[in-house]
Amino acid sequence: MPLPSELSATPLVRPTGCPGLLRIVQAMDGGICRVKLAGGVITAQQAYAVADVAQRYASGVIEVTNRSNLQIRGVGPEHAALIEPLMAAGLGPANAASDDVRNLMLSPTAGIDPRQTLDTWPLARQILASLENTPRFAELSAKFAVQLDGGEALAMLEHHHDLWLSAFTDNGQTLLAFGLAGCPAQDAPLGAVPLEHGHELVMAVLTLFLDRARPEQTRLRHLFNDCTVADFVERLALRSSVSIVPVNAWRRDVSAAHSPLGTYPQREPGRVFVGAAPALGRLDAAMLSGLAQLASQYGNGTLRFTPWQSVLLPDVRAEQAPLVTQRLHALGLLCDAHNPLAHLVACTGSSACAKGLADTKQDARQLAGLLSQPQTIHLTGCQRSCAAAHVAPVTLLAVAPGHYDLYLRAPEHAGFGVLRERNLTIEAAGAWLEARQRSNTDD
């Protein structure tokens, strides 16, 4: 646990260009306000509040982020008028300094997934409260991220987090495996602790990082340029009241993963959740209001946004799922996992970002029309890869308006993977990808 002297230290807040609720960051299309959602969950009344201020004080464009948050685009000069209703709706931090640090990712089906090992919400609430109410944690970067995985079938396991925890059982005991600067899908755990010591482990990792990292080292991977992971874990063990046990054979099972689109059963008999996606992660105020209405009418009055830039309506009666799907489609959301557009990710692009070299959103729509089968493809306007927190199987990197270099993911290659083609038009990229799909090769 943090020492009293650590808790009372004056925070050294690391600079960041990331938007927050209280920090509007300017883009070519106006300001960006990011609304962080605990576990991706928002109530219908909160969703109405977001839709209302987006329409009143911004462009009406609302994006789902790859950390299950929402961001309002095109914010005008009335910043305070936009922020105050969101704070009143309970969407703000416990204090101004803690807005950036609320970066705890859960499965969007936490607590309702039939395959879960653990309902992560009790521990998640404990961690979030400590993140917000421990003054020293304001020193953490806005990008510093923690993932808590309860073994759900629907879980984002490819995003790299500074600290990830994954629940499993061993001889009837629930343990939390953990890893650093990685993700459960790819990395073997470094050890495990009993569930009841999970909060203590998280606090120890965060304080040890802050004790050892220089101001410019915003992520754990940066710190590991100066020290080894083994050294960090050894020091971590000295701060813990419980022994870190080795994990030899266990690895996170990824075989049960399914699409976030569609209808799936919950733990409660007769109840399902229904998933849909706004095209390329972008909603407008009317769509969000419509989602809030559906959640109140057919669900439990909440929405769950996902790191796939989609949304779930939980607690729908199974017999009403077809009607809910029909209503979602009428709102303009994608409900069919076989729709190629549902598998494309695109950043803001040159239409609203000065660094973007191409209009990635428009190009993605054009590309979707050229594909006969779904393929997971990321279109990025520059090297920063803002729209995707992990490397996609296929990346199109803009080099000029309407032209892209094409990369295929390869574990042995850093960055986007292997460069396969240069300076392709969207038409040429579509033809190349279609030919590859027909040949059924991954080389």
What DSSP string runs through 143-209? T--EEEE---SS---SS-EEEEEEEEEETTEEEEEEEEEE-TTT---SEEEEGGGHHHHHHHHHHHH
Mean of the pLDDT values across residues 3-30? 66
CA separation for the pair 235, 229 (Å, rounded): 10
- Say what the pLDDT of residue 290 is: 98
Report helix, strand and coil shares of the chain as percent, to nearest 5. 30, 25, 45
Mean of the pLDDT values across residues 305-326? 98
The domain ranges of the chain are 4-239, 342-442
Place 8 in a pLDDT band, splitting at 50, 70 and 90. Answer: very low
CA separation for the pair 137, 145 (Å, rounded): 12
If one counts every other C-beta atom within 10 angstroms of the C-beta of residue 411, the result is 8
- How far apart, in Å, do the first and last CA atoms of the chain sit? 48
Nearest CA-CA partner of 153 in 333, 302, 273:
273
Query: Which residue do the tokens 């004056």 mark?
Result: 10
Same fold, 4-239 and 342-442: yes
If one counts every other C-beta atom within 10 angstroms of the C-beta of residue 37, the result is 20
pLDDT at position 10 over 60: no
CA separation for the pair 407, 403 (Å, rounded): 13
112: CB partners within 8 A, 6+ apart: 266, 267, 268, 271, 273, 314, 315
Q: What confidence tens digit (pLDDT) does each residue in 67-105 have?
A: 999 999 999 999 999 999 999 999 999 888 899 999 999
- Say what the pLDDT of residue 16 is: 66
Share of the chain above pLDDT 70, in %: 95
Q: What is the DSSP letter of 137?
A: G
Instruction: List beta partners, residue 245.
Output: 192
pLDDT at position 358 over 90: yes
Mean of the pLDDT values across residues 114-126? 97
Instruction: Give me the chain's average pLDDT, please.
Output: 93
Q: What is the DSSP string of 303-324?
A: EEE-TTS-EEEEEEEGGGHHHH
Nearest CA-CA partner of 274 in 297, 307, 298, 293:
298
pTM: predicted TM-score of the whole model, two decimal places = 0.94
Place 17 in a pLDDT band, splitting at 50, 70 and 90. Answer: confident
Q: How far is CA 302 from CA 102, 142, 146, 311, 316, in A?
A: 20, 26, 23, 11, 11
Least trusted range by pLDDT, from 211-225, 234-248, 275-289, 398-412:
234-248
Mean of the pLDDT values across residues 406-426? 95
Cα atoms found within 13 Å of the Cα of residue 225, Cβ hemisphere only:
8
For domain 4-239, give its CATH number from 3.30.413.10, 2.40.290.10, 3.40.190.10, 3.40.50.410. Answer: 3.30.413.10
Share of the chain above pLDDT 90, in %: 89
Query: Which residue do the tokens 């609430």 mark?
Result: 125
Q: What is the DSSP letter of 17?
A: -
443: CB partners within 8 A, 6+ apart: none
Greater model confidence, 411 or 199: 199
Mean of the pLDDT values across residues 140-165? 96
- Say what the pLDDT of residue 257 is: 84
- Say what the pLDDT of residue 3 is: 29
Mean of the pLDDT values across residues 236-251? 91
Task: Supply the CATH classification number for the domain 342-442.
Answer: 3.30.413.10
CB-CB contact of 313 with 266 (8 Å): no
Mean of the pLDDT values across residues 151-158? 96
CB-CB contact of 275 with 68 (8 Å): no
- Say what the pLDDT of residue 211 is: 97
Place 15 in a pLDDT band, splitting at 50, 70 and 90. Answer: low
CA separation for the pair 181, 214 (Å, rounded): 17
- Say what the pLDDT of residue 5 is: 31
pLDDT at position 177 over 60: yes
341: CB partners within 8 A, 6+ apart: 279, 280, 334, 364, 365, 368
- Say what the pLDDT of residue 438 is: 87
